[in-house]
Amino acid sequence: MSNQLLDTFRELSNLPTTSFYEQKILEYIKTKLDSYKIEFHQDSWGNIFAEVNGKTPNEIVFISHTDHPGFEIISKHKKNIYLAKALGGLPKNCVTNQTNVKIISNKSDLYKGKIINFYSKENKKPKIPKNYRWMTSEFVLIESESENIKLPSFAVFDLPETKYFGERIVTPVADDLAGCALIIETLNKLNKSSNEYSFKAIFSRAEEVGLIGARLIAANELISKNSIIISIETSSELPGANFGKGPIIRTGDRLTTFDNKAELVLLQSVKEILRRDVNFAYQRQLMSEGGCEASAFAVFGYSVTGLALPLRNWHNGNEQGDVEPEEISLLDYENAYKIMTNLGKLDIVKIKDYFKNLMMIPEDAKKLINEE
């Protein structure tokens, strides 16, 4: 496996990002696409669209998102203490543990800080189910080393840089920079081969606060309604969707059930890989913990499917709600790349070909004829 595949993820995942503050990721992606000579453009909301034309107009669209949960600094509370808004689901104990954060201002000014308290005007405790591991307060107070942080600025957990421990990739952000890295490297490979399918990629914005970039694209039909949409995501490990047992062909998410017609392209890709490698590891499951961008397209009538990497410490939270780095498996990551790049070798997949055997009535059916 090329180091490039790992390097791209490592470089991306060490850049700070959160919803609406995704500039560093967008810049990285654009620079990388340029260097790979892949055509791209940005829409008026900043979502990036890249494309690799194939021999036919049949189109497969990969989608990933460029943000990750974090905090938006709203205002100065007093002296070196700032009021910050939570963007996306964050582990609740970041407050009690006074977790360290990095504050990024003016694009690259960097300050250290720590979360010191919840902040709510009413000071009312919301009703929370037992064992709920997410923060329920919308605002926190962050103490910084500086009294002069310029707004706009944002904060992310101050976690160690991405490291590889054997089969484990331990990282500040797998969700969804692993998806972004997989798509960039897949396009680079597909761009060098001759493909039946045409491929597009979307790097969408502000997913963690309600799939915003994806909903804008789907609602405005910036992608053809005939396209097959494949969400490339990480998703919290589940029974039957285990870490290190292969990427998951995602049959649905928390919001919707996906589409058989779309899924067939992934199944066909896996089927062909299995012919060469009977031990190729993959899984198939409905990943119900989180919603993903496929759902934003599904509700507008698109044909959608997904590929998910089993994720540990989803949104940097462990089971108890303490802050930890996210984790994905090297094998899951590399096998997702294999499934994605192998799509370039496929003929156009048709339901009647894929399910030819299932559609044929077997000889044994004769035995069912009532002979009385």
Interacting residue ranges for Zn ion, rule: CB under 5 A: 175-176
Kindly give, in sequence order, each residue whose CB lies less than 8 Å from that of residue 372, ignoring residues fewer than 6 positions away.
none
- Give least dist CB 203 to Zn ion, A: 12
Q: Which residue, among 159, 205, 198, 178, has the nearest Cα to 66 in the 3D structure?
A: 205
Please tell me the distance from the alpha carbon of residue 165 to that of residue 312, in angstroms, as a whole number: 14
CB closer to Zn ion, 59 vs 233: 233
Token pair 């609406």: residue: 20
Cα(322)–Cα(157) distance, integer angstroms: 12
**Which CB atom, from 22 or from 119, has the smaller least distance to Zn ion?**
22
Torsions phi, psi of 178, nearest 5? -65, -40
CB of 305 to Zn ion, least distance (A): 16
Q: How far is the CB of 234 from Zn ion (least distance, A)?
A: 6
CA distance 5 to 11: 10
Smallest distance from the beta carbon of 349 to Zn ion, in angstroms?
A: 27
* Phi, psi of 140, deg, nearest 5: -135, 165
Smallest separation (angstroms) from Zn ion to the CB of 65: 6
Query: What is d(CA 50, CA 128) in angstroms, rounded to the nearest whole number?
Result: 42
Q: State the residue for tokens 């044994």.
A: 364
CA distance 94 to 23: 25
Output the smallest distance, CB 66 to Zn ion, in A: 10
Helix (H, G, I), strand (E, B) or coil at 295: helix
Q: Which is nearer to Zn ion, 176 or 263 (CB)?
A: 176
Number of helices (H), then strands (E), belonging to the chain: the values are 10, 17
* Closer to Zn ion by Cβ: residue 195 or 234: 234
Closest to Zn ion by CB, 237 or 349: 237
Least distance from C-beta 67 to Zn ion, angstroms? 8
Q: Which is nearer to Zn ion, 59 or 175 (CB)?
A: 175
Shorter beta-carbon distance to Zn ion: residue 71 or 314:
314
CB closer to Zn ion out of 175 and 253: 175
Nearest one of 133, 1, 180, 151 to 71, comparing CA atoms: 151
C-beta closer to Zn ion: residue 142 or 174: 174
Which two tokens mark 217? 């694209």
Surface-to-core class of residue 309, CB atoms within 10 Å of its CB (0-12 exposed, 13-18 middle, 19+ buried): buried
Nearest approach in angstroms of CB 293 to Zn ion is 8
Q: Which residues are 238's β-sheet partners?
A: 241
**8 Å CB contact between 201 and 51:** yes
| Nearest distance in Å: CB 312, Zn ion | 14
Q: Which is it for strands 48-52 and 81-87: parallel, antiparallel or unpaired?
A: unpaired
